[in-house]
Structure 1
Amino acid sequence: MAPNRAWERSVTKTADESAPVAPRLSDRQRFAWLRLIRSENVGPASFRSLINRFGSAELALAALPEMAARGGAKKLPQVADESAIRREFEVAAKHGFRFVAIGEPDYPAILARSEMPPPILCMTGSSSAYSDRLVGIVGARNASITGIKMARKIAADLGEAGYGTVSGMARGIDAAAHQAALPYRTVAVLAGGLDQPYPPENIPLMDAIIAEQGAVISERPIGWRATARDFPRRNRIVAALGIGLVVIEAAKRSGSLISARLATELGRDVFAVPGSPLDPRSEGSNGLIRNGAILVTSADDIIEDLRPQEMKSEGEAAILAGEPEQPDYEPDENERDAIIGALDFSPVEIDELIRHTGLPASAVLVHLLELALAGRVERLPGNRVQRLPSE
């Protein structure tokens, strides 16, 4: 049976009076999507390129080995095992989790409009919590009493004004913000699988978020225990889901500063609560203010800045896939060598790479996809790419 690609070729529309509601994936398509994104070396950028190129996840999965081989893979990437994907669906059904793909009605619209959004999310709770009126609140895990009180007050006051809270359900500031926002609306983003919440002492908080019509989401597989590299990915989703990001107590080197940088890259306003210059927990947040973050002492400061932003059009949601894009040339090994030779281990813009090599943009993009699948380069936010050290 030929794969049903009707949805995968549809255009995602913003919600307005004339735009049709996007249909949902079939069970078969959802299975193939999850298998593709769970395959080795396939990230959000590669996933989108593969769907655009082949028109369906099933056809993309069949093409993975050949494309990785053309990219010069020393070892072919592992395609996600079908039995592992079945287990994910079984565990999800047992716990009441659901998988939602970009473009489907339950996928957060503001996240879909961001750069390199996760193609598929695992979610639990109320889909009504994923509105465009969320504000991110992040900060120190070892927060002070003053920091905890500030997080609670800002989250509650934002809730009274109609804004929900999104955070990472970590200890300290994150947990305090979620707790204060429970009567309003709060969304927690996990670094690991939904069945592996971290830290464990926040499991009752997760249950409370769901009970109060909030939501908990993750892009990581069910059963996945979070590692250090997963937290920046989690932080990017937190930053993307909010129309602004508030930092309360952040050390000089902290995940909260990563969140602030990611929010800035996404075009979000960054707010910071000033702290004592004698407290290392405020060194990073005070530094944000020195570097242009908006100083806030109450939720009113945030609301005053956000209201004009809400009047601006966000534009159309990301189009995941159209008709398959077939190249009008045969892949050339010399072209691929020229691309690898032009890259080093620092990120460069793809437009700059195209100018430097003098190759057609379509050729560069196809070669970068093959090289990414081979594990030789990595696509980064900001339309950038870098060579990987293992190459």
Structure 2
Amino acid sequence: MNEDLDRLRLARTEGVGPILYRRLLRRFGSAAAALEAVPGLARNGGRPTPPTVPSRAEAEREFDLAARARATLIFLGSPAYPPLLALLEDAPPVIAVQGHPTALTGRGIAIVGSRNASANGQRIAETMAEEMAREGLVVVSGLARGIDAAAHAGALRGGRTVACVAGGIDVPYPPEHAGLQARIAAGGAVVSEAPPGTAPLGRLFIRRNRVIAGLALGVVVVEAAQRSGALVTARRGLEAGREVFAVPGSPLDPRCRGANGLIRQGARLVETASDVLADLPCAPGEGLGLLPGFSCPDRLREPPPEPVATPPGDSAEVALARAQLADLLGPSPTSVDELIRRSHFSPAAVLGALLELEVAGRLQTFPGNMVALLAEPGH
């Protein structure tokens, strides 16, 4: 329990996102050691005051709030953590799960689309979801109005479904879907990476979309405008090696332009559940080598390995590297490998300096081992 409390405190520490969380665990080997090191790292990186770290009492309170919502907190690296989701570079350090965590380890298929969906679009999503659930797939969606709600409803008739929510697990959104969320939890699972009580703000929906894609082997887009969260989910699916499918629609309907555009860009055109089942892979295209023991269609069995502490670079060399990196970096993302090649310091020193800058809030990290410099605190 102590390690879980420390992991939760680290995950909720100011400025610590999913990628930095993993780096800190790899660097220090445990959450307790990382928490102890955070103030010094931030100071070395140029932050005048240490980041805010939740107290043990605050972490215990989050556990209590999750329990009151009948949810379980599951940490990255634990056997119960969804193995497909763990393959994401920015996998959530902790998720709250209502219902049955085993629903998160099955073969998942995401169905997403427009909130103001047409009757035809909703019927297609509902029928597809029901038929794929009857074939043993777990249908994943975002509990939103329109296509999401239709997919969940169809999947509930055929088998299991998983809802990924943007706000706290105890804050149903939209409010009229509170009953649907309860039904999903009764037979499947509801997932959130936000602390209980968190209001579902706009930026959280973008983060939620990567969780939808991360829990699935493929993403089906049914009716999506050219600028929509469904297309974000599809893009995150592509980045993670998931298959992307799209249902074609009328070129006269703006709700179909995003899905039609995906087809032009190479997404698989599908009209029925059978079309999806024919091309759904058994594992992510980029993750086959990371899934020992996996055989289609069994669920993934191996949890991600526990972090092992990595030796730090020499402190004097790290300080020199930090000064040079401030010149090499800019607001546009740059590859860490490129920074190592262009600097005259050891990889350990460069990585150590980047870690200090990130903890100080001066560096932003992106999937693909890319980083960009932010303005110094106070500027």
Amino acid at match of 2:13: S
Q: What's the CA shift string for 1:166-187, capped at 9, x where partnerless?
A: 1111111111101111141111
Match of 1:329 among 303, 307, 314: 314
Alignment partners' CA distance in 2, 1:389 and 1:178? 43
Whether contact under 8 Å (2:62, 2:195) holds in the other structure is: yes
1:210 maps to 185
User: Is 1:315 the counterpart of 2:291 in the alignment?
Assistant: yes
Match of 2:226 among 248, 252, 270: 252
Match of 2:358 among 363, 369, 372: 372
2:21 maps to 47
How do residues 1-391 of structure 1 correspond to structure 2 at under 5 angstroms?
A: 27-183=1-157, 184-211=159-186, 213-307=187-281, 314-316=290-292, 318-322=304-308, 324-331=309-316, 332-389=318-375
Q: 1:53 to 1:250 in 2, by over 3 A?
A: same
Alignment partners' CA distance in 1, 2:346 and 2:289? 33
Alignment partners' CA distance in 2, 1:37 and 1:374? 16
Alignment partners' CA distance in 2, 1:310 and 1:58? 33
Q: 1:267 to 1:333 in 2, by over 3 A?
A: same
Alignment partners' CA distance in 1, 2:116 and 2:374? 34
Alignment partners' CA distance in 2, 1:158 and 1:345? 44
TM, length-normalised to structure 2: 0.91
Whether contact under 8 Å (1:372, 1:378) holds in the other structure is: yes
Matched residue count:
363
2:300 maps to none
User: SS state of the match for residue 151, structure 1?
Assistant: helix
Q: CA deviation at 1:84?
A: 2.4
Q: What's the CA shift string for 1:32-69, capped at 9, x where partnerless?
A: 11011001011122111212222221121111111001
Q: What's the CA shift string for 1:298-331, capped at 9, x where partnerless?
A: 1111111115658966524533401x22224124
Alignment partners' CA distance in 1, 2:265 and 2:133? 28
Whether contact under 8 Å (1:250, 1:284) holds in the other structure is: yes
Q: 1:226 to 1:118 in 2, by over 3 A?
A: same
Q: CA deviation at 1:388?
A: 2.3
Q: CA deviation at 1:273?
A: 0.6
User: SS state of the match for residue 229, structure 1?
Assistant: helix
1:6 maps to none
User: SS state of the match for residue 315, structure 2?
Assistant: coil
Q: CA deviation at 1:76?
A: 2.4
1:16 maps to none
Amino acid at match of 1:315: L
Whether contact under 8 Å (1:110, 1:132) holds in the other structure is: no
Q: Which runs of 5+ in 2 are unaligned?
A: 293-302
Alignment partners' CA distance in 2, 1:303 and 1:115? 27
Alignment partners' CA distance in 2, 1:279 and 1:75? 53
Amino acid at match of 1:388: L
User: SS state of the match for residue 138, structure 1?
Assistant: strand
Q: Which runs of 5+ in 1 are unaligned?
A: 1-26
Whether contact under 8 Å (1:132, 1:241) holds in the other structure is: no
TM, length-normalised to structure 1: 0.89
Moved more, 142-151 or 45-54: 45-54
Amino acid at match of 1:344: G
Whether contact under 8 Å (1:114, 1:318) holds in the other structure is: no
Alignment partners' CA distance in 2, 1:118 and 1:192? 14
Alignment partners' CA distance in 2, 1:270 and 1:280? 20
Q: 1:107 to 1:390 in 2, by over 3 A?
A: same
Whether contact under 8 Å (1:138, 1:168) holds in the other structure is: yes
